[in-house]
Structure 1
Amino acid sequence: MAERKAPVTRFLEFLRFPTVSGDGPSGAYQQAADWLVEYLAEVGLSVQVFSPAENKPIVLATWEGADPTLPGVLLNSHYDVVPALREHWEFDPFDAKSFLKSDQFKAIQPIAFAFDEGLANPSNAFTVFYGERVAWWFYVKAEGPTGHGSRFIQNTATSKIVDICNKALAFRAEQEKALNADPGCKHGDMKKRKLGDVTTVNITALQSGVSTDGGKTHALNVIPTTAIAGFDVRISPNLDMGAFRAMLDEWCSAEGVSWEFAPWWEDPILDHYTTKTDDSNVWWKIFKGACEKFGIPVEAEVFPAATDSVYLRRLGIPAFGFSPMNNTEILLHEHNESLHQDTFLKGIEVYETILRDVLSHDE
């Protein structure tokens, strides 16, 4: 009983650090990192701490095998979390990219394979992610003539931006229809599409108008010369990136229309990066075989959002997103997100089995 209680106690202790992304750099990140360093050193791992970004420490623990010259296996995760509104929780929730570019990461021994975070699965199966949709955040800007609102001014900025939004929404409707379509097979060989199999488009910002007080009021009788729309697009591996970019260029081909990635987004992903899930990938065979020891089926999917694993795959490192949380409702970023302690403990057993099999691979 004590052996079962100890991991739960440690996990609950770690969860109490309020490592919310907005406030974490003021101290909680460092507290969580210090806790990890102490625990990892206690269990005999060598530990290093890097800070490629100020007040955002990265903890790297190394467990050397019998032959440290061989490539390693990376277990990647993060301790920062999205804001949690306490008033919406039944209980108080707090009762990698820059590092991958750093010299410290390059100095680490070669990495043969990596695990990153996954998602729960409400069924008995385990979900494993072999890739993810590529997120594109961009603005479309349209420019046109001004004039009085009482006239039929042609080719206005707002009419151009509305036309582009309509094209984007038409494409969005096609993708949603594909998601909800019957797979067309009565024998169960064709699986229903998941969100990661299609591309989503959402208009997340609209800006236009003529104002002299910072947007509090507008001169509604004056036609604005500029209109801007912001988009969040998640591009499925089933859609060629070049084809999507060509379609976006076509949407914006009218005179006075242009698009650009969000200026704060310094490193857009321009291609799909996936890890093979067939017998040609030895890591897939080992992973799937380890899960089958528990009699639990594995469902390989495309992650619908974004994780750090895309940057690992871009470096040529095979990576799976996997969290052994079957029979668990998906409550990612929702109020009262929780995990049953039996599922947590079983997950430790599953990961121990997977790692034994992966680390004992000698080919």
Structure 2
Amino acid sequence: MKASPEELDTVAVANFRQYLRIPSVHPNIDYEPCVVFLEKQAKDIGLEFSVFRDVPKNPMVVLTWSGKEKSLPSIMLNSHMDVVPVFEDKWTHKPFDADIDENGNIYARGSQDTKCTGIQYLEAIRRLKLKGVEPRRTVHVTFLPDEELGGINGAKQYVETENFKKLNIGFALDEGFGGRGDTLIVFNGEKRRWIFRIHCPGQSGHGSLLLENTAGEKVRHILDKVYDFRAEQKIKEDKDKKTDHVTTINLTMIEGGLQNNVIPDKFTLVFDARVPIENFEKFEQTVNQWCKDTGEGIWTEDLQKDDDLPITAADDSNIFWVAFKHAVQLMDFKVDPLIFPANTDGRYFRKALIPTFGFSPNQDTPTKLHDHDEFLNIDVFLKGIKLYTHIIPALSNA
């Protein structure tokens, strides 16, 4: 089939909007409409199609572009099908209509995180195939479930399955953030996530009394320490203009109390911390010292503590870094490797010893991930496809 660039752009935007209209939103997602949509894309483009159902109700979809040298480790281009919930009354456009405004912005949940990425991969491959390009390494375009809930019932389990291991993946691209101007951002590692609860027991009694050693006083002491620490980290972030060596911590839940005239015998505080790998041990010691200084009976409970995961090399020792960097330099881009400030499925690939970069080609775009009125501009979306038409062959021929 021959198609003009304008016709290919029209097809790409139409497919993107169709995918965005599938409400694969938490909670209680039905992934089957995504599976049906992606199977149609595979047939249209001429890719092999597989669905792995190792995790009940959470399928992993794989579209495969076979390489000339099938014995070589393959390339994985990953995104996720699920999206976070919406508060529809806060949106100026319906979040699953994929409306386009007068500036060419497509509004929809998932337009940045990360349904754009999956379609950009596929539309780049469509263009490459029409030009007769044949990859050296096999390329798998993967669509995973459950990333927005931490990947516990998605990537974390799938990397352990035989179906995944048979893909023989030697390198993966996963999601990231777009850069600015002529600088692309590549994330070659992630901060360690630590979700923990601090238990603050204290003297209980009538609400009219000024008792000593109350749970509330201990909460105040802990929060003073936390927010003083946050202020220090904010100063560091503002000074360095980067987040990869900054520890973030946020209070996300307070639990306790029985009724409004009883001083409770305990409050618990839940915190979400994202810690640079090299700072994790020191930060953990700091939290323990906060608890010790607060008084007797204070203790922490780990709710989620990520492993110490490897960093993917971003230097000449990594052939995929060399290939990626060379490809984007030919398009007059520079590339800046950073540590991802949050968490993605990429951490499970790195744990499985698969070199992984997080990347988004959507340059100069306001970050609206998980926000109201999430959008992506059509021109930015199409430029991202063009970038991938250079990056994918470079990686597959490395």
Instruction: Tell me the TM-score normalized by structure 1.
Output: 0.85
Match of 1:32 among 8, 31, 34: 34
Q: Distance in 2 between matches of 1:299 and 1:140?
A: 37
Tell me if 1:113 matches 2:189.
no
Counterpart check, 1:304 vs 2:341: yes
Task: Give runs of aligned pairs for residues 149-228 of structure 1, distance below 5 A.
Answer: 153-181=211-239, 192-209=240-257, 211=258, 217-219=259-261, 222-228=262-268
**Residue 5 (str. 1) matches residue 10 (str. 2):** yes
Structure 1 contact 53–98 (Cα < 8 Å) conserved:
no
The range that moved more, 152-161 or 310-319, is: 152-161
- The answer to whether 1:251 aligns with 2:290 is yes
Q: Which residue of 1 aligns with 2:201?
A: 143
> Larger deviation: 14-23 or 154-163?
154-163
Give the Cα–Cα distance (whole angstroms) in 1 for the partners of residues 202 and 91 of structure 2: 49
Q: Distance in 2 between matches of 1:298 and 1:312?
A: 22
CA contact (8 A) 2:52 2:163 kept: no
Name structure 2 gaps, 5 residues minimum: 1-5, 98-153
Partners in 1 of 2:193 and 2:84 — Cα distance?
A: 18
Tell me, yes or no, if the aligned pair for 1:141 and 1:161 is still in contact at 8 Å.
Answer: no
Q: CA offsets per residue over residues 222-244 of structure 1, 9 Å max, x none?
A: 4322121111111124x422222
- 1:80 Cα deviation after fit: 0.9
Q: Which moved more, 1:148-157 or 1:306-315?
A: 148-157
Aligned to 2:307: 270
Q: How many pairs are equivalent?
A: 335
1:342 and 2:379 are equivalent in the alignment? yes
2:191 to 133, 157, 179: 133
Matched AA of 2:390: T
In structure 2, C-alpha distance between the alignment counterparts of 1:126 and 1:154, rounded to whole Å: 56
Q: Alignment partner of 1:24: what SS?
A: coil
How far off its partner does 1:109 sit? 3.5
In 1, the alpha carbon distance for the partners of 2:20 and 2:185 equals 24
- Give the counterpart letter for 1:13 in structure 2: Q
> Residues 61 and 230 from structure 1, CA distance in 2 versus in 1: closer, same or farther, beyond 3 angstroms?
same
Aligned position for 1:291: 328
Query: Identity of paired residues, percent?
Result: 35
Which stretch shifts more, 9-18 or 90-99? 90-99
TM-score when normalising by structure 2: 0.78
Partner residue in 2 for 1:188: none
- How far did 1:350 drift? 1.3
Residue 330, structure 1, aligned to residue 367, structure 2 = yes
Return closer, same or farther for 1:259/1:313 CA change in 2, 3 Å cut-off. Answer: same
